[in-house]
Amino acid sequence: MAETSRPDGPAVLAQNQYGKAENRVVRITRDGATHHIKDLNVSVTLSGDMDDVHYSGSNAHVLPTDTTKNTVYAFAKQHGIESAEQFGIHLARHFVSSQEAIRTARIRIEEYDWERIALPGAAEGGHSFVRKGQEVRLTQVFHDGASWQVVSGLKDMVVLNSTDSEFWGYAKDEYTTLPEAHDRVLATEVTARWRYGWSGEGDTPDWDASYAETRRHLLEAFAGTYSYSLQQTLYEMGARVVGERDEIDEIRLSLPNKHHFLADLTPFGLTNDNEVYLAADRPYGLIEATVLREGREAAIPVDLTNL
Amino acid sequence: MAETSRPDGPAVLAQNQYGKAENRVVRITRDGATHHIKDLNVSVTLSGDMDDVHYSGSNAHVLPTDTTKNTVYAFAKQHGIESAEQFGIHLARHFVSSQEAIRTARIRIEEYDWERIALPGAAEGGHSFVRKGQEVRLTQVFHDGASWQVVSGLKDMVVLNSTDSEFWGYAKDEYTTLPEAHDRVLATEVTARWRYGWSGEGDTPDWDASYAETRRHLLEAFAGTYSYSLQQTLYEMGARVVGERDEIDEIRLSLPNKHHFLADLTPFGLTNDNEVYLAADRPYGLIEATVLREGREAAIPVDLTNL
Amino acid sequence: MAETSRPDGPAVLAQNQYGKAENRVVRITRDGATHHIKDLNVSVTLSGDMDDVHYSGSNAHVLPTDTTKNTVYAFAKQHGIESAEQFGIHLARHFVSSQEAIRTARIRIEEYDWERIALPGAAEGGHSFVRKGQEVRLTQVFHDGASWQVVSGLKDMVVLNSTDSEFWGYAKDEYTTLPEAHDRVLATEVTARWRYGWSGEGDTPDWDASYAETRRHLLEAFAGTYSYSLQQTLYEMGARVVGERDEIDEIRLSLPNKHHFLADLTPFGLTNDNEVYLAADRPYGLIEATVLREGREAAIPVDLTNL
Amino acid sequence: MAETSRPDGPAVLAQNQYGKAENRVVRITRDGATHHIKDLNVSVTLSGDMDDVHYSGSNAHVLPTDTTKNTVYAFAKQHGIESAEQFGIHLARHFVSSQEAIRTARIRIEEYDWERIALPGAAEGGHSFVRKGQEVRLTQVFHDGASWQVVSGLKDMVVLNSTDSEFWGYAKDEYTTLPEAHDRVLATEVTARWRYGWSGEGDTPDWDASYAETRRHLLEAFAGTYSYSLQQTLYEMGARVVGERDEIDEIRLSLPNKHHFLADLTPFGLTNDNEVYLAADRPYGLIEATVLREGREAAIPVDLTNL
């Protein structure tokens, strides 16, 4: 097929990508009477030699998004779902290696965790589950045919310290009215994205163990830090992960400061000794930063933590 | 103040109510280094002698919604928050007994549960929490100055059985195309509302124990029922609660059938032996029913479970 | 088939209903080059002789929810969609009249409105639309084989008066701190449900004209009322509809008071002459009432406006 | 104050930013009896010399996020809100020029549009509004003390063509099952971000006129394109803007393919001649691309359109 020329005019196509988003795939594995469940939301994004379809509507290079959806479900059968990361690697490799026009693939996955429902007197295992409903596990696998980038993470993990948090000694200008705080509630909803050093050489990390340990370090660093600012807590969380997990080169955290204001009870003749708080919705402070392993280059986009 | 007459015209004021909705109150209790947290969303609704304000805008009988908000925070200090139900009882009694124009009060509360973050080497307790993020606990306390009605419940509890569910033998008409299913996934998001028999006489139930046990029975009945229809599972869940919890007279369940469709892999030469499912969003089956203790009268409104 | 007996124990089945919720059906009608679009979200709820399926799992009386979904799409072809109300009537009549076990049907419909995209130089009409995105139109049609009840309405219509609103002269208690307001912003998000007098006898109202006029009256009554309280404004809105639209017997309004607080600029040496406001999220006042045509009986459930 | 050194360990602070997000500010301007309303959601993000606060919790360089909130409300009084872009420029300049430690400011604004409620017999103008509720207008202003970047846009604009859309001739592999389509519904929810060429030299564009015209071109290009793929439609939309609006150098579009599947009515003996569609939620195709003015460099981040 002949190359389509670009239409007249000043407009040029630049970065472009396409795919099928939010394929909700659930994989059940039966091990006798003990069933296992993996519950994913998979978004496929492809890019490559796509000038024609944009300039003229010729679809000769376009593998339909419907096909990418079918592939997700077929691969869940053919390869199983060992982990979100491993499943993403299977998918990304397939699209880039099987379609000449496709040069890169990015697979984004959300994973929802489930707990078993225990029945009294029953053996462990079984086939009944209740969704854990806490944080959502995330991964993004990117492949360009040569190297790999895996950025995993989590979102929606809400944490709170009811003491050991202060905020004072800050800069002031003519619009500053905030009183200093020497014992406040510190609460945030953690969104984290960490990038693995693995880029295709050598063994992959143990994705599930790495997730569990990174999550634990984030929680423990949040809980264990006596905080003078949310920025300091953020850094401690990131530094803990980089310090403890050699397989991770970089982590980005987005921490909304979920303000808990002390209720003013003085009009009612009551003292509020750090007991009663209003949990506010908007506005909220928003603290975001990347913590990097020394000597590595940052690669997580600034806007990724907003997703 | 003279009674305002109703304006001319055919329009008459009927049922009316007002209040402040969604007061987000967090109560921290310090027991040495061990802190406790209660995290509520409280909505106050009052009604009474309110013709004037509707007909003429005279506010003489209207306790401001801002005052009801203040009361929520002041009571969190004055009475503490032993349980959502007990807190609602304090509030409802106050409004009805302290304002002559207020005849009834309805307090609706959502409660969000938190887990402790354990630090290695630390004693139990501490001041750090991660939101559990599973179901939301609910209560509604109604008081008219004489008697009480407490309807508690939960929402957002997602459960799934990966086998022991069938659906066949159903009625058919000219629009029926559904194939019979002899081994399907059964998943739902439980919304439940149960009404306590307590109406003001005698001791109140142990609200927290009752909640924990009712939740457990719902989960166990869901998990333990070999199901021929979601209606049957719903009845088993409700009957279990009524059978096991004497303090509960009635329960209403709203169970969306969260369809998990077997992915059709035959075009790819693959068999799908109950392994790979598409989790669908809309439309969904919606099964709702009340299960009642024999001899009692149903009182939970049909539309309450939609809230 | 023999009647199933109720299982042993104290639990009795009470009100129950089932169906397929949120069937998203879009109907395109081509009138030459001019296309028309109807965009609905249809929820079917049936009830009747359903003891067996709850007590034993026997589905002999259960028309599958999948069938009710199919019926929605088939009827969109067979009957077209003249209006949401008329479409709901077709569906409700069908289920009750065609299935012996089905005694009542309730059809709830949301409708999304679209505007045409005008192309320069093109004739009016065409096939391109942009979603209006303002209020959502609602209806609920209930049929028990004999009579009909139609409750229509709207939600998500946000309105604001930037003056002509006061609030003072209210009741005060020891928790009252609110200063009186003599010129405030009054904003709310209107949810309205109105019940038609038509119950099966005589011609149906002109549903579309009735909707357009009722919506207009609600807006004009909100805008034209000098308000001393949101309750007064609510009554004026309801009374206007009952007074002007003979086909409507009752209307229920749920009006959250979307607080716009004057920003306190005094610390910065600035006066705020009703110019700069903080739009707050939670908590919010919530004012709800039914306005009824004299001599009729109220029938809209109190909790319906929360849906 | 002495510089804090970085704590021991491999972790280094990289990109970081902070501020107050989602300040909901409403500005009323009274022109006699005619009021005007601007309704914004403003998020302030600052960055600069912030190593200390992350490494040690020293807040000496940290202007509190509460102060940035106060500034938003004070500036709404002091400068008014001529347009979202102009308001963002005032804010960004202030933070960078007034605080030595602050090197860059990024102001993100959402704007909600309102329509006047017309009263019969009243003069035009007035003080009553109904929220338009269609697309949300967006802008992002970035300033580093020297140059400026303004990226405006919109989101939530849902459009649909009921004909003049085909999809065929695409690549096929072993997972392809999609039938070709020669007359389909094409619907999408437009998210667009366009970058202005203005970087501080010369007059600013007329922001409001530019917004109105860009929005119009997007709608007209969508409506007027006979489409062989959503990619082609996307390019036409972007090229139209770049071709018609000299002040815009680049536009990025994110277009979910909101699938409308033809309902299969053949089991009921009915033909579906492009009349009845199922509007599906997930999964959806997702087509994203940047269209650039020839000779310029792309600068809109790939992930920005997801926000």
| Set of chain C residues whose Cβ sits within 8 Å of the Cβ of B227 | 57
Nearest to C53 by CA among B232, B224, B252: B232
Which of A56, A232, A307 has its CB closest to that of D56? Answer: A232
Instruction: Write phi, then psi, for A12 (nearest 5 degrees).
Output: -120, 140
Partners of C195 in beta bridges: C151, C250
Partners of B173 in beta bridges: none
Neighbours of B, requiring at least 3 CB pairs below 8 Å, are A, C, D
Q: What is the DSSP letter of A221?
A: H
Determine the Cα–Cα distance for residues C24 and D256; give it in Å rounded to an integer.
17
Determine the Cα–Cα distance for residues C228 and B60; give it in Å rounded to an integer.
11
> How far is residue A12 CA from its own chain's centroid?
33
Q: Convert the pLDDT of each residue in C108-165 to its tens digit.
A: 999 999 999 999 988 888 999 999 999 999 999 999 999 999 999 999 999 999 999 9
Longest dimension (CA), chain C: 83
Residues in chain D: 307
Q: Let me know the angle formed at the C-alpha of B206 by B205 and B207, rounded to the nearest 5 degrees.
A: 90
Determine the Cα–Cα distance for residues D258 and C10; give it in Å rounded to an integer.
50
Which of A7, A64, A293 has its CB closest to that of D176? Answer: A64
Structure tokens at B156: 């957002």
Q: Are residues D107 and D176 in the same domain?
A: no
C-alpha dist (Å) from residue D195 to A303, D94, D145, D215, D298: 17, 22, 19, 14, 9
DSSP characters over A60-124: TT---HHHHHHHHHHHHHHT--S-HHHHHHHHHHHHHHH-TTEEEEEEEEEEE-EEEPPPTTPPS
| Set of chain B residues whose Cβ sits within 8 Å of the Cβ of C54 | 231-232, 234-235, 289
Q: Are residues A134 and A214 in the same domain?
A: no
Which of D131, D159, D280 has its CB closest to that of C130? Answer: D159
**Residues with Cβ within 8 Å of residue A168, at least 6 apart in sequence:** A180, A181, A182, A228, D59
Catalytic residue among C65, C104, C204, C290: C65
Could you count the other beta carbons within 10 Å of the beta carbon of residue A123? 9
The reply to whether residue A290 touches residue D15, judged by beta carbons under 8 angstroms, is yes
| Set of chain A residues whose Cβ sits within 8 Å of the Cβ of D172 | 63, 67
| Set of chain B residues whose Cβ sits within 8 Å of the Cβ of C15 | 289-290, 298, 302
Structure tokens at B146: 């004489």
Q: Convert the pLDDT of each residue in C174-203 to its tens digit.
A: 999 999 999 999 999 999 999 999 999 999
Is residue D2 domain-resident? no
Residue A281 — left, alpha, or beta (φ > 0 → left; ψ -120 to 50 → alpha)? alpha
Is residue B5 domain-resident? no
Task: Write down the pLDDT at residue A2.
Answer: 46
Task: Write down the pLDDT at residue A1.
Answer: 40
Structure tokens at A159: 């944490």
Q: Are residues D124 and D231 in the same domain?
A: no
Say whether A177 is catalytic: no
Q: Are strands B276-279 and B260-262 parallel, antiparallel or unpaired?
A: antiparallel
Average pLDDT of span D228-237: 98
DSSP characters over B26-56: EEEEEETTEEEEEEEEEEEEEEES-HHHHHH
Residue by residue, pLDDT tens for chain A (307 residues) are 445 789 999 999 999 999 999 999 999 999 999 999 999 999 999 999 999 999 999 999 999 999 999 999 999 999 999 999 999 999 999 999 999 999 999 999 999 999 999 999 888 889 999 999 999 999 999 999 999 999 999 999 999 999 999 999 999 999 999 999 999 999 999 999 999 999 999 999 999 999 999 999 999 999 999 999 999 999 999 999 999 999 999 999 999 999 999 999 999 999 999 999 999 999 999 999 999 999 999 999 998 876 5
Q: What is the DSSP letter of B281?
A: -
C-alpha dist (Å) from residue B191 to B4, C254, C304: 43, 23, 17
Q: Which of B162, B189, B215 to mutate to test the interface with A (most CBs of A within 10 A)?
A: B162
Active site residues of D: 20, 65, 259
* Residue written as token pair 């604004």: D109
Q: Are residues B177 and B226 in the same domain?
A: yes
* ipTM attached to this prediction: 0.96
The reply to whether residue A163 touches residue B35, judged by beta carbons under 8 angstroms, is yes
Q: Are residues A133 and A154 in the same domain?
A: no
**Domain boundary residue among B119, B146, B173?**
B146
pLDDT of D271 > 80? The answer is: yes
Determine the Cα–Cα distance for residues D39 and D56; give it in Å rounded to an integer.
39
The reply to whether residue A289 touches residue D228, judged by beta carbons under 8 angstroms, is no
Q: Which of A128, A157, A189, A271 to mutate to test the interface with B (most CBs of B within 10 A)?
A: A128
Is residue A8 domain-resident? no
Q: pLDDT tier at C2 (50, 70, 90 boundaries)? A: very low
Task: Write down the pLDDT at residue D304.
Answer: 85
Could you count the other beta carbons within 10 Å of the beta carbon of residue C14? 18
Structure tokens at B289: 């029913």
Q: Convert the pLDDT of each residue in C279-306 to its tens digit.
A: 999 999 999 999 999 999 999 999 887 6
Q: Are residues D136 and D164 in the same domain?
A: no
Q: Are residues B224 and B290 in the same domain?
A: yes
Task: Write down the pLDDT at residue C123.
Answer: 82
Q: Are residues B133 and B193 in the same domain?
A: no
How many domains does chain C contain in total? 2
Q: Which of B61, B67, B95 to mutate to test the interface with C (most CBs of C within 10 A)?
A: B67
Determine the Cα–Cα distance for residues A180 and B8; give it in Å rounded to an integer.
58
Percentage of residues in chain D having pLDDT higher than 70: 98
- Cis peptide leading into C267, omega within 30 of 0? no
Classify burial at C277, counting beta carbons within 10 Å of its beta carbon; exposed 0-12, middle 13-18, buried 19 or more. Answer: buried
Residue-averaged pLDDT of chain C: 96
The reply to whether residue A260 touches residue B130, judged by beta carbons under 8 angstroms, is no
- Cis peptide leading into B283, omega within 30 of 0? yes
Is residue C207 domain-resident? yes
Is residue C10 domain-resident? no
Q: Are residues D295 and D161 in the same domain?
A: yes
The reply to whether residue C175 touches residue A268, judged by beta carbons under 8 angstroms, is yes
Partners of A254 in beta bridges: A191, A288
Determine the Cα–Cα distance for residues A155 and A178; give it in Å rounded to an integer.
30
Determine the Cα–Cα distance for residues A242 and A213; give it in Å rounded to an integer.
12
Is the Cβ–Cβ distance between A72 and A136 less than 8 Å?
no
CA dihedral C187, C192, C197, C203 (to 10 degrees): 100
Which of B175, B177, B281 has its CB closest to that of D281? Answer: B281
Determine the Cα–Cα distance for residues D299 and B147; give it in Å rounded to an integer.
67
| Set of chain C residues whose Cβ sits within 8 Å of the Cβ of A177 | 267
Determine the Cα–Cα distance for residues B211 and B216; give it in Å rounded to an integer.
9
**Domain boundary residue among D146, D162, D179?**
D146
The three-state secondary structure class of D94 is helix
Determine the Cα–Cα distance for residues C159 and D178; give it in Å rounded to an integer.
46
DSSP characters over A15-62: EEEEEEE-EEEEEEEEETTEEEEEEEEEEEEEEES-HHHHHH---TT-
Nearest to C170 by CA among C234, C231, C222, C260: C231
The reply to whether residue A159 touches residue B132, judged by beta carbons under 8 angstroms, is no
Q: Let me know the angle formed at the C-alpha of B106 by B105 and B111, rounded to the nearest 5 degrees.
A: 140
Amino acid, single-letter form, for residue A261: F
Task: Write down the pLDDT at residue A3.
Answer: 58
Say whether B65 is catalytic: yes
Task: Give me the domain span that covers residue C103.
Answer: 16-146
- In three-state form (DSSP H/G/I as H, E/B as E, the rest C), the secondary structure along A147-214 is CEEEEEEEEEEEEEECCCECECCCCCCCCCCCCCECCCCEEEEEEEEEEECCCCCCCCCCHHHHHHHH
Task: Write down the pLDDT at residue C1.
Answer: 41
| Set of chain A residues whose Cβ sits within 8 Å of the Cβ of D286 | 18-21, 43, 45, 65
Determine the Cα–Cα distance for residues A292 and C220; give it in Å rounded to an integer.
59
The three-state secondary structure class of C292 is strand
Which of D223, D272, D279 has its CB closest to that of C128? Answer: D223
C-alpha dist (Å) from residue C230 to A32, C166, C185, D157: 63, 9, 11, 32
Is residue C289 domain-resident? yes
Q: Are residues D33 and D81 in the same domain?
A: yes
Determine the Cα–Cα distance for residues C290 and C141; give it in Å rounded to an integer.
19
The reply to whether residue C57 touches residue B13, judged by beta carbons under 8 angstroms, is no
Determine the Cα–Cα distance for residues B279 and B275; give it in Å rounded to an integer.
13
The three-state secondary structure class of B277 is strand
Is the Cβ–Cβ distance between C272 and B1 less than 8 Å?
no
Residue by residue, pLDDT tens for chain B (307 residues) are 445 789 999 999 999 999 999 999 999 999 999 999 999 999 999 999 999 999 999 999 999 999 999 999 999 999 999 999 999 999 999 999 999 999 999 999 999 999 999 999 888 889 999 999 999 999 999 999 999 999 999 999 999 999 999 999 999 999 999 999 999 999 999 999 999 999 999 999 999 999 999 999 999 999 999 999 999 999 999 999 999 999 999 999 999 999 999 999 999 999 999 999 999 999 999 999 999 999 999 999 998 876 5
Determine the Cα–Cα distance for residues C151 and B30; give it in Å rounded to an integer.
52
Residues in chain B: 307
**Residues with Cβ within 8 Å of residue B283, at least 6 apart in sequence:** C20, C21, C22, C23, C24, C43, C65, C69
Q: pLDDT tier at D307 (50, 70, 90 boundaries)? A: low
Is residue C182 domain-resident? yes
Is the Cβ–Cβ distance between B158 and B191 less than 8 Å?
no
DSSP characters over C54-110: HHH---TT---HHHHHHHHHHHHHHT--S-HHHHHHHHHHHHHHH-TTEEEEEEEEE
The three-state secondary structure class of A241 is helix
Helix (H) or strand (E) holding D157: strand D148-161
**CATH code of the domain covering residue A33:** 3.10.270.10
Q: Convert the pLDDT of each residue in C221-271 to its tens digit.
A: 999 999 999 999 999 999 999 999 999 999 999 999 999 999 999 999 999
Q: Convert the pLDDT of each residue in D169-227 to its tens digit.
A: 999 999 999 999 999 999 999 999 999 999 999 999 999 999 999 999 999 999 999 99
Q: Are residues D127 and D199 in the same domain?
A: no
| Nearest CA-CA distance, residue B223 and chain C, Å | 16
**Domain boundary residue among C146, C179, C214?**
C146
| Set of chain D residues whose Cβ sits within 8 Å of the Cβ of C77 | 263, 265, 270, 272, 275-276
Q: Let me know the angle formed at the C-alpha of C94 by C90 and C95, rounded to the nearest 5 degrees.
A: 125
The reply to whether residue C167 touches residue B59, judged by beta carbons under 8 angstroms, is yes
Is residue C5 domain-resident? no
Between C84-98 and C207-224, two packed helices, what is the crossing angle to 10 degrees? 130
Q: Are residues B176 and B292 in the same domain?
A: yes
Say whether C69 is catalytic: no
